[in-house]
Amino acid sequence: MTYCVAMRLHEGLVFLSDSRTNAGIDNVGTFRKMYAFENPGDRVMVLMTSGNLSLSQAIRQVISDHVTPDGKTIWTVGNMYEAAQIVGEAIRIVYARDAKALEQFGIDFNVRMIFGGQIGNENCRLFQVYSAGNFIESHDENPYFQIGESKYGKPIIDRVITPASSLDEAAKCALISMDSTLRSNVSVGLPLDLLVYESGSLAIRRFVKITEKNKYFQMIRGIWGEQLKHIFEGIEDPVWNAPDPAQPVALSLAGDRSYPVRIQPPEELRVAGREDAPLQSVAQENGGGQH
């Protein structure tokens, strides 16, 4: 499987991808999923992929070679929107060529991509591209995209990242997001590729391949877990049946009783004297109707 995340900020772009692929629990491989298209001084574009690896690699090759009807390539288009169109067209070319044959072997055409960068004086732009070749663009209301196993690393990004976040803050947040995913899903794994692009530089200046020996990532993994535990232990336990409604940690109030929907046991199995609250059947709760 895969986890990739990219963030579009006022200062630039952050890209992070893992490198694990799975064809079963006993067939785990390492393939890098981040590809950089760089012509220093003119353009920097980054592609990250998830889904079927053979399809992703085929699409990447088509992106490199494709020439549009008006003679443009990924290296000559005038803006990132046109570059994203070439990515989408490359997906459709591979689909038209391979999808039907793959379907005969029970293989779905399954790819998703994140594509972003900067061309000339245009602002940095970031896109998420789908299996049909269509895409959406990141804006300030949603400054990041994820593909693959996104659910584990999403909460920290939602709480921390805004377009005004610095590149270093975003890189740190992306690594914490990845660590959360690594801890919860064995189909995502090291090494990682981290690329931080500074707006206007038109060159790749900050890139690192992160292995289990990387000191900063080791520190992130240790401190994040310790701090989460420390914060958790610092939150007070809930108070049940609190006498004072103003009590800040009151989970329930005395006299304000509520009950779950109870399913009555057969009459012959009921224990005498053990009914703590009036019993209520599912039928009673729903007004005797069917559901």
pLDDT along the chain (291 residues), means of 10: 95 96 69 97 98 96 97 98 98 98 96 98 98 98 97 97 98 97 92 98 98 96 94 95 92 87 91 62 48 47
Topology classification of domain 3-229: Glutamine Phosphoribosylpyrophosphate, subunit 1, domain 1 (3.60.20)
pLDDT of residue 257: 75
pLDDT of residue 281: 45
Residue ranges in 134-207 assigned as alpha helix (H):
154-160, 167-184
Q: Is 31 helix (H, G, I), strand (E, B) or coil?
A: coil
Q: What is the pTM of this model?
A: 0.88
Consecutive H or E run containing 144: strand 144-148
pLDDT of residue 284: 46
pLDDT of residue 159: 97
Tell me how far apart the alpha carbons of residues 248 and 38 are, in angstroms, rounded to a whole number: 55
pLDDT of residue 285: 47
